[in-house]
């Protein structure tokens, strides 16, 4: 007989989730919860425990006070929206609770993962390649640096000093990877960017020449495809030329921008990818599946098993390596993250995602036109992807963002563009509309005028 308390939990969800969805539609921005009030929602763990019904009631209270990330007024991070097929698959994954290391433990779910990886490799142009799902772009990047370092070591032994080349606008997971892997943060060369936030290839070539003369060994060149603040794309082709000239591993951090490979605009931005060694691609950003869902893809097959495949006869007991992905993973126990992406992709198809990206680019153009037309507002770059960085004359971007959030109008963040602190709007929710964006601009200007006159 099914455990009655599990049925109670399922019934709780069946009631709560529609309630939450209705409340999100009603109040798309929850006013920020004062920290002092938050503590009251988090009872201590006791020796005796509590009845399930009480725990479920606490979960409900917590859920109702948690910031909303799925509504069209959430522009704060590089993810938003909610995909029905993906969310259902995610819940199913929690129910099934398989671990994605072996066919024995995960059965057909391994074939789902393999099919998905093959599809993504095809989109990336890495048809003879391989891939693995990780817990996020940071881990995909870490793994890429580890593989690049191991491959460089295998070719030329240890070095006194290593260097990792990435732009000054790159994600902080790069210095973190250098730190974790023992290369040291000082190994990271933060190469200058142009006014659009793209790495300058000449600056890279100069730094590389200086390092090589001093006997420093390059580990990797990282090209960012969609920087965190500006959404800028480093010139992959030019960076690949430099990498090939010196035999250096070239990685593309497409944690944010990877999904744009599904759109012809994005394919242009990714020109040269087929000459790169590895690609980080987060599906929990532009593809709208629940956190986390990230893949590391490699152009050639073999490196994953070379550096991650360990003999563990207590685990790998049946079937061949192709259906035992634990041999190619940085993890042992691993959540079934591919299932949600596969379910969403089954539903939308490539064309559905292409249309979604087209729509998001149109919404971006719409809001950029509004900003350009507005006498109080000023764009601070020419957007290449879905990030729009702008300022209001005479108003602090930090203060503007804080006030929009406090008043329940929008959740939006600020980011540094050169010397300027800008409002950074990320257009990533397919439920976004022109009307919401127009209202956002109107509200922002009204709040800004109030702040300026205060």
Ligand X SMILES: *Cc1c(COP(=O)(O)O)cnc(C)c1O
Contacting positions for ligand X (CB under 6 A): 78, 136-138, 141, 171, 173, 224, 226, 228, 253, 255-256, 282, 292, 294
Min dist CB 330 to ligand X, Å, is: 13
- In angstroms, rounded to a whole number, what is the distance separating the alpha carbons of residues 448 and 454? 10
Closest distance between ligand X and the C-beta of residue 253, in Å?
A: 5
What tokens does 3 get? 């455990």
Q: Which residues of 308-337 are buried (b: 16+ CB within 10 A; e: fewer)?
A: bbeeeeebbeeeeeebbbbbbbbbeebbbb
Instruction: Give whichever of 29 and 255 is closer to ligand X, judged by the CB atom.
Output: 255
Residues 195, 168 contacting (CB under 8 angstroms): no
Smaller CB separation from ligand X, 387 or 432 = 387
For ligand X, which is the closer residue by CB, 229 or 327?
Answer: 229
* Nearest distance in Å: CB 231, ligand X: 9
Helix (H, G, I), strand (E, B) or coil at 111: helix
Nearer to ligand X, 226 or 266 (CB): 226
Q: Give least dist CB 114 to ligand X, A.
A: 22
74 vs 103, beta carbon nearer ligand X: 74
Q: Which is nearer to ligand X, 117 or 377 (CB)?
A: 117
Alpha helices in 27-158 (DSSP H): 35-38, 52-64, 84-96, 103-106, 108-124, 137-156
Nearest residue (CB) to ligand X, 251 versus 356: 251
Q: Which residue is nearest to ligand X (CB)?
A: 137
The H-or-E segment that residue 421 falls in is strand 420-426
Q: Given the structure tokens 């600020």, which residue do they identify?
A: 414
Go through 358-372 and write b for each residue having 16 or more CB atoms within 10 A of its CB, e for each that does not: eebbebbebbbebbe
CA distance 432 to 412: 14
Minimum Å gap between C-beta 139 and ligand X is: 7
| 228 versus 278: smaller Cβ distance to ligand X | 228
Contact (CB, 8 A) for 93 and 316: no
Q: How far is the CB of 243 from ligand X (least distance, A)?
A: 18
Which neighbouring-strand residues pair with 252? 223, 279
**CB of residue 235 to ligand X, shortest distance in Å:** 16
Least Å distance, CB 415 to ligand X, is 12
DSSP for residue 161: S
């Amino acid at each position: 007989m099914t455990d009655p308390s599990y049925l109670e939990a399922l019934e709780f969800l069946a009631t709560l989730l529609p309630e939450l969805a209705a409340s999100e539609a009603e109040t798309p921005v929850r006013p920020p919860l004062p920290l002092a009030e938050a503590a009251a929602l988090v009872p201590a763990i006791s020796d005796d425990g509590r009845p399930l019904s009480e725990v479920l009631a606490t979960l409900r209270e917590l859920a109702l006070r948690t910031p909303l990330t799925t509504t069209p007024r959430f522009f704060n991070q590089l993810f938003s929206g909610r995909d029905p097929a993906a969310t259902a698959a995610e819940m199913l994954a929690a129910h099934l609770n398989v671990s994605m290391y072996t066919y024995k433990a995960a059965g057909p779910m391994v074939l789902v993962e393999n099919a998905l990886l093959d599809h993504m490799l095809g989109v990336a142009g890495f048809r003879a390649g391989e891939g693995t799902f990780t817990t996020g772009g940071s881990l995909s990047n870490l793994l890429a640096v580890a593989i690049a370092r191991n491959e460089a070591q295998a070719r030329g032994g240890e070095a006194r000093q290593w260097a990792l080349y990435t732009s000054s606008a790159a994600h902080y997971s790069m210095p973190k990877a250098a730190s974790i892997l023992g290369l040291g943060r000082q190994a990271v060369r933060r190469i200058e960017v142009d006014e659009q936030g793209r790495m300058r290839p000449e600056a890279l070539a100069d730094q590389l020449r200086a390092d090589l003369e001093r006997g420093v060994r390059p580990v990797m060149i990282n090209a960012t495809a969609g920087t965190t603040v500006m959404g800028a794309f480093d010139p992959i082709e030019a960076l690949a030329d430099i990498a090939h000239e010196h035999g250096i591993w070239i990685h593309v951090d497409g944690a944010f921008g990877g999904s744009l490979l599904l759109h012809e605009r994005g394919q242009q931005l990714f020109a040269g990818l087929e000459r790169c060694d590895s690609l980080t691609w987060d599906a929990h950003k532009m593809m709208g599946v629940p956190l986390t869902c990230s893949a590391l893809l490699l152009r050639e097959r073999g490196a994953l098993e070379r550096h991650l495949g360990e003999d563990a006869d207590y685990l790998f007991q049946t079937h061949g390596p192709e259906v035992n992905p634990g041999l190619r993973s940085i993890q042992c126990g691993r959540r079934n993250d591919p299932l949600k992406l596969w379910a969403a992709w089954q539903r939308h198809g490539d064309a559905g995602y292409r249309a979604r990206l087209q729509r998001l680019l149109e919404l971006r153009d719409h809001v950029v036109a509004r900003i350009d037309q507005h006498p109080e507002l000023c764009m601070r770059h020419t957007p290449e992807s879905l990030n729009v960085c702008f300022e209001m004359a005479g108003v602090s971007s930090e203060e503007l963002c804080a006030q929009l959030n406090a008043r329940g109008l929008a959740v939006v963040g600020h980011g540094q563009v050169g010397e300027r602190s800008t409002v950074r709007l990320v257009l990533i929710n397919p439920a976004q509309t022109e009307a919401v964006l127009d209202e956002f601009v109107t509200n922002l200007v009204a709040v800004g005028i109030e702040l300026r006159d205060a």
